[in-house]
A and B are shown apart, each in its own frame.
Chain A
Amino acid sequence: MTITAERRLTDARMRPMALPEPRGPITAALIEVLTGPEHASVGDLALAATEGLAASVDPLIDDDVQLALFLMYELHYGGLEGVSDSWEWDPRLLAVRGPIEREFEEALRHSVRQPVAVRDVPEALFALVGDDDSPSLSGFVERDATADQAREILACRSIYTLKEADPHSWAIPRLHGRAKSALVEIQADEYGGGRPDRLHATIFARAMRGAGLDDRYGAYADHVPVEVYTSMNLMSLFGLHRRLRGAIVGHLAAYEMTSSLPCRAYANGLRRLGFGEDVADYFDEHVEADAVHEQLAARDLAGALAEEEPQLARDILFGASACLTVDGRLWGGLRERFERGESALRRPL
């Protein structure tokens, strides 16, 4: 297939995503509102959200809360199939989203440790990442995972990786000078450096097809566990609020700084399992790319932002710490389930 033909196919299959099944009363009411008449009342949804939040023991692992937030955020990305684009900025929907975001952020501030830089932010970021002791899923894939488990991981990754880099791009107009230049330098590479076939999301779509998976955006929305949505929503929350621009920058730094070596292990594991080069390619690409990005993100992006806007240093480190905590729980949780011989998914592939 030519690159052009493949690109057309990929783009056509990407968006908007089909609506998933509800996971509780908030998502049931949300889907009813989004697919109903545009001027119908959202009163039932507002009530379901209020009650759902009040009843939620931990919003970070609440399927209904996280899926509802994910769907509302998705209106800002590729959109939802059969849902009017006008919902994106509908004040009635934003009024429902606000309290959910506040509960989400409060839960994060409560459960994520707040680091403090002793000397400068880049050095603190490297130390933070070096101290991270989350159980490694990549090491498990390299040595022990089965092919089915590897496919489950790809399905879990697809919610973010089929729109890889997009949530961090929201920050571009909110930064200036060196920090902006560094973010664009990283994102240009994420988006293929002018080569559409090297868009990281497109390389990942190819990897999914190579592994026999469906690469349409949201194809596994009903399969993935709640932690996948928490991880995605974390990026959207940080990315969509200018107030949290420090946190999205710190998130990107931590993400890039924990990618090179794990990606090498993933690539080794996928080859061990007999997957083709098209599947390993995505991970090979990230070994070299993220070894560059981690330097750019820690020093030229986060370091410059902390110098230009020193009041953001705290949130830069919070964003990095949140990335390590939330993604550590997600991928560490998958490893635990695999080691118990269980599937990581809510339904089989």
Chain B
Amino acid sequence: MTDAEASARPVSITACPDGPLLVRGDLALLDEHGAPIEPNRRTFALCRCGASAVRPFCDGSHKLVGFRTGPPPRTPAVTYEDEEWRGTTG
């Protein structure tokens, strides 16, 4: 794609629950000296838990450190159809 076409992509940032910031669109990502950081993909994820080993990008570490963007739910998110006859409660 040409620069002109790329500049037509609007920027959006999606805050993923318990996860990274998902960035789309044409924008400059810079380090503290103003040098460009190449994301290597059109849609990229920025770390917001601080635990990533590839900052500023996300590497999934938020799952290891139990990062949460809201209070944890009081009930499980998933159950199993066979739970009753297996006698487990998940």
Interface residues of A (CB under 8 A from B): 113-119, 123-124, 126-128, 130-131, 185, 188-189, 193-194, 260-261, 264, 287-292, 294-296, 299, 317
Contact = CB atoms under 8 A, between A and B. Distances in A.
A289 B18 contact: no
Closest 10 CB pairs of A and B: A260-B60, A127-B77, A291-B58, A124-B78, A114-B81, A123-B77, A127-B78, A292-B45, A291-B60, A261-B60
A169 B40 CA distance: 22
B54 interface: yes
A189 B40 CA distance: 10
Contacts of A291: 20, 45, 57-60
Given A113-B81, A124-B77, A189-B42, 5 more contacts: A114-B82, A287-B54, A288-B41, A295-B20, A295-B45
Interface string B33-45: 0000000111111
B56 to A, nearest CB: 11
A287 B59 contact: yes
B77 A117 contact: yes
A299 B16 contact: yes
Interface of B: 1, 14, 16, 18-20, 22, 40-45, 53-54, 57-61, 63-64, 73, 75-82
A288 B58 contact: yes
Contacts, number: 92
A113 B58 contact: no
B22 to A, nearest CB: 6
Contact of A292 (B22, B79, B81, B82): B22
B78 A185 contact: no
Contacts of B41: 189, 193, 288-289, 292
A319 to B, nearest CB: 14
B37 to A, nearest CB: 12
Contacts of B64: 261
Contact of B44 (A116, A127, A130, A292): A292
A318 to B, nearest CB: 10
Given A288-B40, A292-B41, A295-B20, A264 B77 contact: no
Given A188-B42, A288-B59, A290-B60, A295 B77 contact: no
Contacts of B59: 260-261, 264, 287-288, 291
A123 B45 CA distance: 19
B12 to A, nearest CB: 12
Nearest to A295: B16
Nearest to B76: A118
Contacts of B44: 288, 292
5 contacts: A131-B78, A261-B61, A287-B59, A288-B45, A295-B16
B60 A118 contact: no
Nearest to A114: B81
A118 B63 contact: no
A113 B82 contact: yes
Contacts of A119: 73, 77
B38 to A, nearest CB: 11
Contacts of A290: 60
A259 to B, nearest CB: 8
A288 B82 CA distance: 36
Given A115-B79, A118-B78, A292 B61 contact: no
B78 A115 contact: yes
A42 to B, nearest CB: 39
B88 to A, nearest CB: 10
B22 A126 contact: no
Given A291-B57, A295-B20, A261 B63 contact: yes
Given A260-B60, A292-B45, A127 B76 contact: yes
A118 B75 contact: yes
A310 B57 CA distance: 33
A117 B22 CA distance: 24
Contacts of B61: 261
A295 B19 CA distance: 8
